[in-house]
Amino acid sequence: MFQGGRIRLHQKPVTAEIKACRPWLERELDFVKPAIAVAMGATAAQSLFGKAMPINKNRGMLTRLGGTQALITIHPSYLLRIEEPANAEAEYARFVSELKLALPFL
């Protein structure tokens, strides 16, 4: 259960499940050839990079991933769990500024 009584509706996938789906992600990236891939949250970052990528250490930086740029940021649901209004506002502003890094690639 999250702070404030919010219940997680879905369980986070385990590493084996993430690895099992990786071939589909790789094929989709090969087919679509996106200019940028945005990983929102730890699971998305692990899926994209094939290994655990600490969010706070890597968020907001453009990283080369093959022929694609990659951007790691928080999962939007994190913003809903921040109880302190000032912290929530600051995190939202940071999230928006990180997403703006993707604009030149669209």
Q: What was the pLDDT predicted at 6?
A: 61
> What pLDDT was estimated at residue 10?
76
Phi-psi region of 3 (alpha: psi -120 to 50; beta: other; left: phi over 0): beta
Please give the model's pTM, rounded to 2 decimal places: 0.86
Q: What is the pLDDT of residues 78-98, one digit of tens each?
A: 999 999 999 999 999 999 999
Q: Domain extents for the chain?
A: 10-105
Contact 69, 3 (CB under 8 A): no
Two tokens at 61?
């930086």
Per-residue pLDDT reduced to its tens digit, 12-62: 899 999 999 999 999 999 999 999 999 999 999 999 999 999 999 999 999
Domain 10-105 falls in which CATH fold? Uracil-DNA Glycosylase, subunit E (3.40.470)
